[in-house]
Amino acid sequence: MNFPTPHKPIKSTILALGVGLNLAVAMLTVFSAYGGTFNPEERVIASMAAMVLPLLLLAGIVLCVVNLLVDKRLILVIAAGWIISLPSILVFSPLHFWKPALTEQQKKDSFTFLTYNVLHFWDFRGEDYLGVEKNETLDYIISTNADIVNLQEYDVLDTKGPWKIKEAQIDSLSALYPYQYTDLDLKYALLSKYPFEKIELEVHPKAKLAMLGFRLNIQGHEIHLINVHLKSIGLTPEDKTLYKEALEMPATKSELKRELKEVKSQLLTKLSEAFKIRTLQARTVRNIVDSIGGPFIVAGDFNDIPDCYAVRTIKGKDMHDAYADAAFGPTITYHGDKFYFRIDQILYRGPFKAVDIERGDISSSDHNPLLATFLFDPVK
């Protein structure tokens, strides 16, 4: 009598589990990639799912390696999920391998734009950096020599404060940027080498949004700019401690249950509310863009990921994401409290295109800056 070899049932079981796991990761990847298409007022879980796209992509890569050992055909399942999700993946991680070398004439027809949440010019790294010679956030801004500097969480440049702001730095800013506007109440500032005027923006009180609008004249082109700082999650120090604890493996099952309950009641509730408020704020911004018309830049601290519902709402069908248009690979612009996301955005439309963008590798603020280079289209 011939008995079945014992390894075949085991192999079939492993294969079945592999198929299920690969399908689950592929389907979750697609759901996450398009989570930003769902209105958070109706499907907030989709907005939350969109935030974990990087983790799902990483899980897919790990599974592909495992699939090489189990069954290579399973790689096709993950690949199918990636292909369906490709538009969103390329926004999260663009693949522009080469930066164009601008000719001398193109350099004249270009301008640079810096957006940066400066954290009031405090040093996020703490008191250990009180001994630095001068304020590193200000030093970075000056070193970029950007044509336009768009700042959030701006504060008074106090040379008598603890964060080493020097008169020489203030003088350098004044020399570089003859056109300046600061609002210490709203914590915004615009520094420019090109002339501009502030414009009044009508914002409905329900939007809970303070933003500034400007009309710039850049090389003869009239371009409107909105400097935004959308609703944050609003976490307290206790919430942040809870989040960090949730990232660690609890020692007991009871601790795990307690942390999951607290995460649901504290963190997810605040996250959900922030998504909904940003939805209203994004509609407000988009309405202003539509009402004014013409070339536009909307930039600042969006407190949300690229391709989320708020960003998609502001972009509409006619605006571009500067990072998606000119960068290579993923990046983060917020690094505080173990929240690692690209939440600072530069959206634009008009007779110019983003040809280069880089993230400033400076950690004196809890945000990293984005510095974009735009090239005017000579045909338009």
User: What are the b/e assignments for 203-238, b being 16+ CB within 10 Å?
Assistant: beeebebebbbbebebeebebbbbbbbbbebebeee
Worst-scoring range by mean pLDDT, 97-101, 115-119, 228-232? 97-101
Digit-coded pLDDT (tens) for 332-355: 999 987 788 999 999 999 999 999
Percentage of the chain exceeding pLDDT 70:
88
Digit-coded pLDDT (tens) for 177-190: 999 999 999 999 99
CATH 3.60.10.10-classified regions of the chain = 104-234+260-376
Give 249's contacts (C-beta < 8 A, 6+ positions apart): none
Q: What is the DSSP letter of 267?
A: I
pTM assigned to the model = 0.90
Side chain identity, residue 276: K
- pLDDT exceeds 50 at position 284: yes
pLDDT band at 254 (very low <50, low <70, confident <90, very high): low
pLDDT at position 338 is 78
Contact between residue 355 and residue 373 where contact means Cβ atoms under 8 Å apart: yes
The per-residue pLDDT of the chain, averaged, comes to: 89
pLDDT at position 257 is 53
Worst-scoring range by mean pLDDT, 75-89, 96-110, 284-298, 345-359? 96-110
pLDDT band at 6 (very low <50, low <70, confident <90, very high): very low
- pLDDT exceeds 80 at position 233: no
- pLDDT exceeds 70 at position 253: no
Give 5's contacts (C-beta < 8 A, 6+ positions apart): none
pLDDT at position 249 is 54
Give mean pLDDT, residues 73-86.
96
- pLDDT exceeds 60 at position 265: no
More confident residue, 83 or 3: 83
CATH, domain 104-234+260-376, list 1.10.645.10, 3.40.190.10, 3.60.9.10, 3.60.10.10: 3.60.10.10
